[in-house]
Amino acid sequence: MSESSLILISPYSRRVAKLNKTTPNTEMKKTALLLLASASYGLAGTPAATPAAPAPLPPPGYAPITFLDGKLTVDIQEKMRAEIRENNFDFNSSVNGPQDASWLLQRFRLGLGYAVTPWFKLYVQGQDVRELGGSRNNDIGSPGSFGSEGDDSFDILKAYVQLGDIKKGISATVGRQFLAYGDQRLVGPLEWLNQARTFDAIKLRYAGASFALDIFTSSPVSYKDHEWNNSQVFDNQNAMDSVFSGIYLATQWVPINTTTDFYAYHKGDQGNGDFGARLGDSSFYTFGTLWKGDPKKLGGFDYSMEMAFQTGEVSGRDLTAFAGNWGAGYNFEHAWKPRIGVQYNYGSGDSDATDGDVGTFQNLYPTNHLFYGFMDTTSWTNMHNPQLNLSIQPSKKLKVNLDYHLYWNATNDDSWRRVNGVLKVPANAAAARNASTFRGQEIDLTAVYKYNPHVALTAGYSIFLPGAYLSDTQTAARKDDTAHFAYMQVQIDF
């Protein structure tokens, strides 16, 4: 079943006691969520025109299993990925750390959807994820797991109600759901991660003839094995109480673009020590735009441009930060559909940790695996990342990509942060300030083979060649040795 076709009810009933938070700030957040939920029911279902920017569609030829004249749908997914990693975290061949191993990631999903009426639909999807082998901590979400996906016995991934038609007019999606906007540099479900990312959210949409406008408020879901997964505002065991809200406008107003988007996000939480000692709560805004050129209208050329500015407070410190992506490519007229492209990514860092301000770009909830190297060493923060991107499609079923990355710190006064924007590559602090800013280079080779609409095979190999920054800031635990990553994946969808 397409994710764009049906939508959910969050499984709060198993955790009703979680509503009894005591702090006024938390109660206000929950009240806002519930008020917007009530408003969404009143607004949904109003008729309108043809859609401008529908949600992503399933693969060509894909169709869910249906019953009751199409009203009841069943979707099944099984995904397995074998990974081999060496020196990805410590760049140290003399140490056999938890990440220097091989393991198998397994994911099973079962979804059920029911269309009560054309404008009232229900969907629920369960998920079971396991990590087999290796030496990483399998406690899902544990800070001590060194990035392991871990185990999570069958739990609710999605559960929502959809009122109205998300492809035209006003609609509402209420419950546990994925959020994905633009290229997912700031907001995406992170499907590469075994468990993915999901939210308890309320989303209102208006789809017109040449635009689609979303307004949403949400809280990210935390994963815990052998317990019902809950979003942070409904989980008494989570101190963050993160609430993430936004407005996203996707348009076709620029004729040469496939999309011209504008957005504003707000994130609020209780603050933490990720970007300096906690001095208070976090409450900041992200304002941005995304433009993507259409090669069919530009003589084979394409381009992309996304820029985002942030202001507000992070853990009680004033935030001013910026990030950008600029890219261009050319699509050749050939049976193999070759494309060559270049791009540059920048994320600001904090040049002075003692001034009471934060200059580190906050990467929000992205799918970073798609953009800054498949070894996941880098997020869209404190970085310069020029790239060369090559791709060919020898057949309708096979696509091959080769990507070459270079990395620099924006400033050595800030940390090199990995794919989640928080976890750091530790360096010798005394040597870091005078060190080179050059982190290194990465080469990614990937191949995707779509056997049929239901079965896809993926394989890849990546190598990271450390730069002078790693050499200049070595510690006993972290060196400057070459890192390797290889994987094979099969995904089956019905």
E strands present in 118-182: 120-132, 152-165, 168-177
pLDDT per residue as tens digits for the range 343-398: 999 999 999 988 989 999 999 999 999 999 999 999 999 999 999 999 999 999 99
Same structural domain, 217 and 297: no
In a domain, 99, yes or no: no
- Between 63 and 184, the more confident residue is 184
Domain for residue 268, yes or no?
yes
Q: Which domain holds residue 272?
A: 254-494
- pLDDT tens-digit profile of 187-231? 999 999 999 999 999 999 999 999 999 999 999 999 988 889 999
pLDDT at residue number 52? 35
Please tell me whether residues 226 and 265 are part of one structural domain.
Answer: no
Same domain, 258 and 231: no
Q: Tell me, rounded to whole angstroms, the distance of Cα 104 from its chain centroid.
A: 22
3-class DSSP state of 234: helix
Sign for the CA dihedral angle at 42, 45, 49, 52 comes to: positive
Q: How far apart are CA 332 and CA 392, in angstroms?
A: 10
- Beta-bridged to residue 202, according to DSSP, are 174, 217
In the prediction, which pLDDT does 147 show? Answer: 57
What number of residues does the chain have?
Answer: 494
Q: Is 226 left (phi over 0), alpha (psi -120 to 50) or beta?
A: left
Per-residue model confidence (pLDDT) at position 15: 36
Residues 193 and 291 reside in one and the same domain:
no
Q: Which pLDDT belongs to residue 236? A: 73
Q: Does some domain include residue 249?
A: no
404 falls within a domain: yes
Asked which of 236, 268, 301 is the last residue of a domain, the reply is: 236
Which one-letter amino acid corresponds to residue 80? M
Residue 356's domain is classified under what CATH number? 2.40.160.100
3-state helix/strand/coil string of 235-279: CCCCCCCCEEEEEEEEECCCCCEEEEEEEEEEEEECCCCECECCC
138's tokens: 């399998």
What is the arithmetic mean of pLDDT over 42-68? 48
pLDDT > 60? residue 133: yes
Tell me: pLDDT of 7 over 80.
no
Residue 164 lies in a domain: yes
Instruction: Report the C-alpha gap between 88 and 68 in whole angstroms.
Output: 50
Give the tokens for residue 363: 């990467």
Tell whether 149 and 286 lie within a shared domain: no
Domain assignment present for residue 160? The answer is yes
Contact between 389 and 341 under an 8 Å Cβ cutoff? The reply is: yes
- Alpha-carbon distance 470 to 484, whole Å? 16
pLDDT band at 39 (very low <50, low <70, confident <90, very high): very low
Q: Which of 289, 159, 303 is nearest to 221 (CA)?
A: 159
Please tell me the least confidently modeled range out of 84-88, 226-230, 290-294, 317-321: 226-230
On whether both 300 and 217 belong to a single domain, the answer is no
The least confident of 143-157, 353-367, 400-414, 450-464 is 143-157
Check residue 55 and report its DSSP letter.
Answer: P
The 10s digit of each residue's pLDDT in 20-37 is 334 434 444 444 444 344
pLDDT of residue 276: 82
Number of domains in the chain: 2
pLDDT band at 63 (very low <50, low <70, confident <90, very high): low
Question: Span 307-329, mean pLDDT?
Answer: 97
Residue 283 shares a structural domain with residue 369: yes
**Which of 57-71, 210-224, 306-320 shows the lowest per-residue confidence on average (mean pLDDT)?**
57-71
The residue among 206, 236, 266 that closes a domain is 236
* Helices and strands (DSSP H and E) totals, the chain: 3, 21
Single out the residue in 236, 270, 295 at which a domain terminates: 236
Both tokens of 27, joined, read 């109660």
* Paired sense of beta strands 72-86 and 483-493, if any: antiparallel
Confidence of residue 273 (pLDDT cuts 50, 70, 90): confident
For the chain, percent of residues with pLDDT exceeding 90: 74
**Structure token pair of residue 398:** 């096979």
Q: What is the C-alpha separation between 283 and 242, in angstroms, rounded?
A: 10
Specify if 145 maps to a domain.
Answer: yes
Average pLDDT over residues 64-72: 88
Who contacts 424 (Cβ-Cβ below 8 Å, separation ≥6)?
A: 415, 416, 417, 418
Confidence of residue 142 (pLDDT cuts 50, 70, 90): low
Q: How many CA atoms lie within 13 A of 223 on its CB side?
A: 28
Average pLDDT over residues 65-83: 94
pTM: 0.87
Region 137-163 average pLDDT: 82
Matching residue, tokens 């040795």: 481
Per DSSP bridges, beta strands 438-452 and 120-132 are unpaired
Q: In this model, does residue 5 exceed pLDDT 70?
A: no
In a domain, 246, yes or no: no
Q: 275-303 pLDDT, tens per residue?
A: 888 999 999 999 999 999 999 999 999 99
The pLDDT of residue 183: 97
Half-sphere exposure (CA, 13 Å, Cβ side) for 326?
6
Residue 9 has pLDDT above 60, yes or no: no
Average pLDDT in the chain: 87
Same domain, yes or no: 230 and 263: no
Is a pLDDT exceeding 50 seen at residue 47?
A: no
* Percent of the chain whose pLDDT exceeds 70: 86
Query: Do 309 and 279 share a structural domain?
Result: yes
For residue 74, the one-letter residue type is V
What was the pLDDT predicted at 145?
Answer: 46
Please tell me the predicted confidence (pLDDT) of residue 490.
98
Sign of the four-CA dihedral 379, 381, 383, 388: positive
Are 377 and 447 part of one and the same domain? yes
CA angle (330 as vertex; 328, 331 as ends), nearest 5:
135
pLDDT tens per residue across span 408-430: 999 999 999 999 998 899 989 88
Q: Is the pLDDT of residue 315 over 60?
A: yes
Which of 441, 425, 438 minimizes the C-alpha distance to 477?
A: 425
> Are residues 276 and 143 part of one domain?
no
Higher pLDDT, 109 or 354: 109
Residues 305, 232 share a domain:
no
pLDDT score recorded for residue 62 = 56
